[in-house]
Chains A and B, each alone.
Chain A
Amino acid sequence: MTRSPGELFAEPFRLHRRDLLALSAAAGLTGALAHRAEAAAPGQLTYAVHISLAASWLDPGETSGLITPFLLLYALHDALVKPMPGTAYGAGLAESWTASEDGLTYDFVLRPNTLFHNGDPVTSDDVKFSFERYRGANHVDLQGRVASIETPDPRHVRFRLKQPWPDFLTFYSGTTGAGWIVPRKHIEKVGEETFKKAPVGAGPFKFVSFNPGIELVLEAFGQYWQKPPPVKRIVMKVIPDEGTRLAALKSGEVDIAYSIRGELAEELRKAPGLKLEAVAVQGTFAVYFPEQWTPSSPWHDIRIRRAVNFAIDHEGINQALTQGYSHVTGSGVVPDMFEFYWQPPKPEYNPDKARKLLAEAGRANGFDAGFYYCDSSYANIGEAVVNNLREVGINVRLRPIERAGFLKGWGEKQYKNLIQIGPGASGNAATRMESLVVKGGQFVYGSYPDIDELFPRQAIELDRAKREAILHRMQELVYEKSLYAPIWQLAFLNGVGPRVEASSFGRIPGFPYTAPYEDITLKSA
């Protein structure tokens, strides 16, 4: 007689089943007692932010080359000149400015009666201090070109340059944090450490509390020079998962959810009350051919590079991944909102032409093209492109590499075959080509002499029209040589909930976030 020990106890064993039932009842009860939408406080705007908020973004002096810090700068701080709706040089704390004929001096006149959050007036002294304190992206270059800063009175500032520099205002207003003004007296009184923990600025919203990587709370600054912001309180919650952000938007926990892509964006269009708001950003995506200068490589043949161009279904991928909001410009590395942008012909999706070009190049049966390297956060784009390339016989395998590793490999020139690039740095056509096209650039695996020799010529050209002509010619050459196969200029898709009347998305060209904050309005309940 073999029986398991359990069977010896014939009496039914109910205790725990009952416990389980009781438990599930308790769980049900908690659910029933709950809670709907905590965000509905009047005047409060709640964001679901996609990226971990860092304390350094609260301080313009630390602004790295990323666009993300500007997410907070536009709320907390103000600049002399900053990109605003309709213009890359919008008047902020400066009411006017002039550049001298020789390009050596820039004069700014500050607006009267502007205040920092602590009540101190904004003066020319603060402007000078902020510029000299700046330690973020390009600070060596920027500060190195300035000979002196003069502050004749509290409302006037004069920058004297060592040599003419046509890009001075580009750097001072848009791409760095040097023109964003911090209060000198306050910082000197409380010290850098305290300032970093509880920053004081001159922007439309003032600092309330911050938990790094988790949550930031801001409050309207009633004495903002332009007008008191209609939104009374801003709460930014970091929610790293895309699906969760959409869920929070749908359940009313947040009012604006950043970065909702692909299928989720489709849901934004379908769901009642929600809006999809898209912004084309400065990130230009393209396929780079690092082996085009290697005669033995198939990519040396321009026909094969052009075949890639015809094989990519730009619009189809655009529809599938970004709901058609990305810009299919045909430009490889320069985004269409940049100064000196040259518009290439629209790309054409034509697999037959691609196959024909391959056949002409002696690759009628396709070929094994090795790897397609990409940043794994954009593997979805890579996957779609690889899908297209395989359709015409370019058999390439996707190699998505986690961002840090990818940037390392790309910058150290370790990759062969194909690389999917997506540079998002601010600047203009010249700065983009400097790092991606011209000999010596950080991501340049090889270059063409005719392009290289044009570059130094534009850098010293003070005549804007002539400079533009040179930069246009350079972009044309990039296009003709199929240096890159352009994919698109990425659209950043966001969700906006029913309480928001005007979100400010897309008002500043190329800026992915909601700004100006002082123009955001909520529907009156």
Chain B
Amino acid sequence: MSTTTITEVAAIRDTGRFRLLRSRDFPLVPVLIILTIALVAVFADFLAPHNPEVGKLAARFKPPFWMAGGSMTYPLGTDQLGRDMLSRLIFGARVSMVVGFTAVIFAGVVGTTLGIISGYMGGWVDQAIMRLTDAWLALPALTFAIFLAAIVGPSEMNIVIILALVYWTRYARIVRGEVLSLKEREFVRLAVVAGCSKWTIMRKHILPNVMNSAVVLASLMLGVVIVAEASLSFLGVGVPPPKPAWGLMLSDGKQGLMVGYWWLTVMPGLCIMLMVLSANLLGDWLRVKLDPQLRQL
């Protein structure tokens, strides 16, 4: 019995690359979904049948092709300004992916850097960064986003910056925690004895070891960020229209739900759901495989 347990633990902790992909519970469907969305985003210009940002008022609220009144001109129907839903969803994949990934990466870079510095340097630097993080966490994320949107004005890039500024603290806290325990490990102590500078240690020894956590966190944050983008649109400070972002489409179309124009919301909603669900399932799996100790995510 006890041998079994040891192998179990070994299996969970095993970080070998091949094992990862061969493993029995590899989330194939989520990965395929993410890849498809990524491909659609990259080739949006070739795939979209219409201009996603210009529509004809005369052709508004056309239903999808399988419903009465629908046609193959607009396979998934049109929105309140007569813009083609399919084209908007396709370009929306691009906007949402770009906003989502860049925001997550920005937040990750800022948060990880500050987390490493805070954890490794200790002392007043640590205190300063952690107090800043605490104060930041105490500020409701959406409040903060509305303020920033009011100051810098909404644009795709500004939304990315806003989301990154809101969510970096999560990385900072978790990475700092990891660094604190890494600091006590043999290889770091040896590096110190060998005379490596603080920066070298942080870059060469600490950073690679916190990357796993950062990547897992990023995969989980992707969903949070995409949903936050939609929430910003609901409050009127999201990606500026007529840019097709899924969150914006969902928020714009929500009134149509009550009137029977379900495709305005259900389609972008489905896209967001698939994307966020996939990212989370992949993130959960990665977490179990890469870093079983990572708990409070």
Contact = CB atoms under 8 A, between A and B. Distances in A.
B255 interface: yes
Given A264-B259, A267-B258, A313-B57, A383 B81 contact: yes
Interface in B259-297: 259, 261
A447 to B, nearest CB: 27
A387 B55 contact: yes
18 contacts: A2-B8, A243-B254, A243-B255, A263-B61, A264-B259, A267-B258, A267-B259, A317-B57, A379-B240, A379-B241, A382-B241, A384-B57, A384-B81, A387-B55, A391-B54, A399-B240, A402-B146, A402-B150
Nearest to A8: B4
Interface string B128-144: 00000000000000000
B8 A246 contact: no
Contacts of B58: 316
Nearest to A7: B8
Interface in A378-401: 379-380, 382-384, 386-387, 390-391, 397-401
Contact of B149 (A267, A320, A402): A402
Contacts of B149: 402, 405
A247 interface: yes
B36 interface: no
Interface of B: 4, 7-8, 11, 53-55, 57-58, 60-61, 80-81, 146, 149-151, 153-155, 236-237, 240-242, 254-259, 261
A417 interface: no
A341 B256 CA distance: 37
Contact of B7 (A1, A264, A405): A1
Question: Which 8 A/B pairs are nearest by Cβ-Cβ distance?
Answer: A405-B150, A316-B57, A376-B236, A267-B259, A2-B11, A263-B259, A383-B241, A263-B256
A34 interface: no
A334 B256 CA distance: 33
A398 B243 CA distance: 9
Contacts of B60: 320
A399 B154 CA distance: 7
Contacts of A398: 240-242
A402 B148 CA distance: 11
B135 to A, nearest CB: 24
Given A2-B7, A379-B241, A262 B80 contact: yes
A172 B55 CA distance: 48
Nearest to A408: B150
A284 B49 CA distance: 37
A476 interface: no
A516 to B, nearest CB: 31
Contacts of A377: 236
Contacts of A5: 8
A476 to B, nearest CB: 31
Contact of A399 (B54, B55, B153, B259): B153
Interface string A236-253: 000000110011000000
A402 B236 contact: yes
A21 B61 CA distance: 40
A189 interface: no
Contact of B258 (A243, A317, A384): A243
